[in-house]
């Protein structure tokens, strides 16, 4: 298991770039981002093993940057999910295809872990895929099988990233196979007032370590949106609230040596709806132009 260090999620897509349109950040843009992030962070987390992640790994290797990367995959759905309003239905034929594709993804992830063994910190076999709302829904048993498969191919520790509630509710079978547990907590998403957000975050950690004694636990996502058109408490989605929340949590993580990946380094305008105040676009501690928001301006170098 890796040691504690400051950590952040990194998606480097800028304006008019996105994985959907397959317009990716250049090497120079990635280098600019990583030189900025390495001033304050040792670990970054990325979500798939494809073009953007490959560029990042190459840049870190080429320029000998002081950063380690947690890599993951985004499995495609193996359960048709009518409860997902944005595309959770899959035909039998599509599910059959996805099952093959998902193992191919794991092989691609393993290849990068082995090629960049001195840079890749850990690997995740999925991201929130056991959440009932997810468009790429998986059975916990399937995720557990993925973890066992990947562990047979790489030396790095293997995990699965999921919301705390789901880990507590149906994570037992997965916990038996992963090397450490990765939880997500978002008080702002579930309309917890800012004054109670720190307490909820710490409680999520304590509940998880009590549920799975002996398993290391990290946060692979936590953060605070700075703009929202709902369903959050709108008057508390701003830069001041983000700074207040992070100013409380980061010292706790340092004191208790709990690695916590802030979500997210930079705003992501390609995400969500076309509305400019769509919250999915506004989780960064920097905006999309790499200008620091209040937290980054006051707390970082």
Model pLDDT, residue 270: 95
3-state secondary structure labels for all residues of 222-251: ECCCCCCCCCCCHHHCCHHHHHHHHHHHHH
Q: Where are the domains of the chain?
A: 7-299
Please list, in sequence order, all residues whose beta carbon lies within 8 angstroms of the beta carbon of residue 138, skipping any fewer than 6 positions away: 75, 77, 78, 79, 126, 129, 130
Dig out the tokens for 25 from the structure.
Answer: 């950040």
Q: Is the pTM of this model over 0.95?
A: yes
Q: What is the pLDDT of residue 86?
A: 85
How much is the pLDDT for 275? 87
Handedness of CA 239, 187, 6, 64 (dihedral sign): negative
Residue 140: what pLDDT? 98
CATH architecture group of domain 7-299: Alpha-Beta Barrel (3.20)
Q: What is the pLDDT of residue 272?
A: 86
Q: So what's the pLDDT on residue 87?
A: 87
Per-residue pLDDT of the chain (301 residues; tens, 9 = 90+): 889 999 999 999 999 999 999 999 999 999 999 999 999 999 999 999 999 999 999 999 999 999 999 999 999 999 999 989 888 999 999 999 999 999 999 999 999 999 999 999 999 999 999 999 999 999 999 999 999 999 999 999 999 999 999 999 999 999 999 999 999 999 999 999 999 999 999 999 999 999 999 999 999 999 999 999 877 888 999 999 999 999 999 999 999 999 999 999 999 999 988 888 899 999 999 999 999 999 999 999 8
Question: Alpha carbon of 51 to those of 47, 75, 159, 208, 220: distances in Å?
Answer: 11, 16, 22, 34, 21
């Amino acid at each position: 298991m890796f040691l504690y260090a400051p950590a952040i999620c990194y998606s480097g897509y800028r304006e008019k770039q996105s994985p959907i349109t397959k317009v990716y950040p250049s090497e120079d843009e990635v280098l600019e981002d990583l030189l900025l992030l390495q001033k304050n962070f040792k670990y970054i987390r990325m979500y798939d093993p494809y073009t953007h992640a490959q560029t990042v790994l190459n840049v870190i290797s080429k320029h000998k940057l002081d950063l380690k990367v947690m890599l993951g995959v985004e499995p495609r759905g193996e359960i048709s999910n009518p409860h997902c309003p944005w595309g959770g239905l899959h035909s039998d034929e599509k599910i059959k295809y996805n099952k093959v594709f998902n193992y191919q993804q794991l092989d691609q992830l393993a290849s990068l872990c082995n090629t960049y063994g001195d840079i890749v910190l850990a690997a995740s076999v999925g991201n929130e895929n056991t959440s009932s709302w997810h468009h790429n829904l998986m059975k916990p048993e399937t995720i557990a099988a993925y973890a066992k498969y990947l562990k047979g191919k790489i030396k790095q520790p293997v995990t699965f990233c999921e919301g705390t509630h789901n880990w507590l509710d149906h994570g037992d079978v997965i916990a038996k196979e992963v090397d450490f547990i990765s939880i997500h907590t978002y008080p702002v998403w579930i309309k917890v007032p800012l004054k109670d957000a720190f307490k909820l975050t710490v409680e999520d950690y304590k509940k998880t370590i009590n549920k799975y004694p002996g398993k290391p636990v990290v946060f692979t996502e936590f953060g605070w949106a700075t703009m929202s058109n709902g369903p959050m408490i709108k008057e508390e989605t701003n830069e001041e609230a983000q700074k207040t929340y992070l100013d409380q949590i980061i010292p706790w993580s340092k004191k208790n040596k709990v690695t916590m990946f802030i979500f997210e380094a930079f705003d992501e305008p390609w995400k969500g709806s076309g509305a400019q105040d769509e919250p999915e676009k506004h989780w960064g501690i920097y905006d999309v132009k790499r200008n620091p928001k209040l937290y980054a301006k006051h707390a970082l170098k």
